Structure 1
């Protein structure tokens, strides 16, 4: 019989409970307390962060809550929930998803034309490819055509071991950053601090920025883009506190 936990989790994160607390504190074990009551994850586990810096960043989200809790405005809290409730039991799924992105990574497939776009992509992406190979030992091949070419098996094996060696908190950030940026390489650069959140997001949207300069900006698309960039910046905060 399938578990109803995902449905319960969605319900709990989807509703907007009214704020009932005055004081937010960080406990000695780096949990979050609201008027002395421990914040718990949707599965009922205490929300415990790995260090004081991250606990303080999460507590700031709870302090900033207005009349109602809005989890959409609390990205660090959501990452904490995911790290505790989901990551430990999803190791195989995490690796599968990361390898899926790595095999067709955005920055390994620059555009064939126009030349001006191709040049901008190489300027943004080539230094990151050099970094991930030199600093992390992950040699990705850049494909100069749109025909899929698999990445070296050794690279994917090393990446798998690398991801499995991360803490659940790091994995939660990586699993959020990778689809956001469309690139596990850019996500790793954000995790490492090699790129800021804004820089990683900018690198992931070279093509969109190029097209917008030609055809103009769409207000709805721009609003969506700003929200995604804000999430990338929150991931920078998350990863920075973990280092």
Structure 2
């Protein structure tokens, strides 16, 4: 995929006036037409969509482009379709292998905390240390700080469990194995049966489905969340809440950083929403 599809760059000016769709010549899909030209992939193959709905959505992305230039970063459905047509068929085994490697250490994708873990940051310790008399020894300070830290972390842990347990229980009902969420940063092994069951599911997906799952898993840092969307267990908002669970807990405590957290949230919403919409539009039934 050209770098421009993943950045905010502008490539050339708008060279067409009218965007339409038509059935492919072989009758097996739909093309997007820019005037009389058939829209093509980066490798110059006709971009052939499996459904009319997806073709019309991509046509809308191209219709949105302005006279001063084409902005590929505003066409996520185009990007995902190109991935499904060109990258997935050539690298399917590697994609599946990469996805299954996400299962053992990080089944639900929290970047910092794990269900069952207790951790704290230097920021939290510092805020409490302001109340500690400076003449106290390190042991006396630790004796004072630990209950406060444990109370906060246990409260956070309870919220994580409340949010994540329903998803883990769903995985167990789907695959007959419940993911183990480790307290160690490096995680640990999952049941071989769970890994094998998920791998078999991924092997049965079509190219568009696998492209969508891979995109969601990459944004979520979690294959389980991606599968939750794929199976209809999670909607976009539920998925984003789970993905950002740890970060949102920190925001509740320390506040939202403008130009930081808000940008991350917006970017995550675009990535997850685009892949989820693509998944739905590409399905023939």
TM-score if structure 1 supplies the norm length? Answer: 0.89
2:252 to 213, 225, 236: 213
Distance 1:103 1:205 in 2: 20
Length, aligned pairs only: 235
Worse-superposed segment, 124-133 or 87-96? 124-133
Question: Could you say if the C-alpha distance between residues 58 and 139 of structure 1 is closer, same or farther in structure 2, counting changes exceeding 3 Å?
Answer: farther
Q: Does the CA-based 8 Å contact 2:217-2:225 persist in structure 1?
A: yes
1:204 to 240, 243, 249: 243
Question: Could you say if the C-alpha distance between residues 181 and 191 of structure 1 is closer, same or farther in structure 2, counting changes exceeding 3 Å?
Answer: same
Q: Does the CA-based 8 Å contact 2:108-2:222 persist in structure 1?
A: yes
Distance 1:28 1:154 in 2: 43
Shift of 1:106: 4.3
Q: Does the CA-based 8 Å contact 1:196-1:233 persist in structure 2?
A: no
Distance 2:237 2:170 in 1: 18
- Hey, what does 1:87 align to over in structure 2? 88
Tell me which stretches of 4 or more aligned residues in structure 1 moved more than 3 Å.
9-15
More helix by share: 1
Specify which structure has the bigger relative contact order, considering alpha-carbon pairs within 8 angstroms and separated by 6 or more residues. 2
Worse-superposed segment, 200-209 or 216-225? 216-225
- Hey, what does 2:27 align to over in structure 1? none
Distance 1:148 1:55 in 2: 42
SS in 2 for 1:199: helix
Larger Rg: 2
Question: Which digits, 9 at most, give the CA deviation of each residue in 1:176-196, with x for residues without a partner?
Answer: 110100110101111222212
- Hey, what does 1:233 align to over in structure 2? 273
| Consecutive unaligned residues in structure 1, runs of 5 or more | 1-5
TM-score if structure 2 supplies the norm length? Answer: 0.76
Question: Could you say if the C-alpha distance between residues 12 and 118 of structure 1 is closer, same or farther in structure 2, counting changes exceeding 3 Å?
Answer: closer
Question: Which digits, 9 at most, give the CA deviation of each residue in 1:65-121, with x for residues without a partner?
Answer: 123211111111100111111000102211121011111224283252312221222
- Hey, what does 1:16 align to over in structure 2? 11
Q: Does the CA-based 8 Å contact 2:5-2:73 persist in structure 1?
A: no
1:110 to 103, 109, 115: 115
- Hey, what does 2:223 align to over in structure 1? 184
After the TM superposition, which residues 84-163 of structure 1 pair with which residues of structure 2 at under 5 Å, given as runs? 84-107=85-108, 109-110=114-115, 112-113=117-118, 114-134=153-173, 136-137=174-175, 139-146=177-184, 148-163=187-202
Give the aligned CA root-mean-square deviation in angstroms: 2.0
Shift of 1:228: 1.2
- Hey, what does 2:63 align to over in structure 1? 63
SS in 2 for 1:33: strand
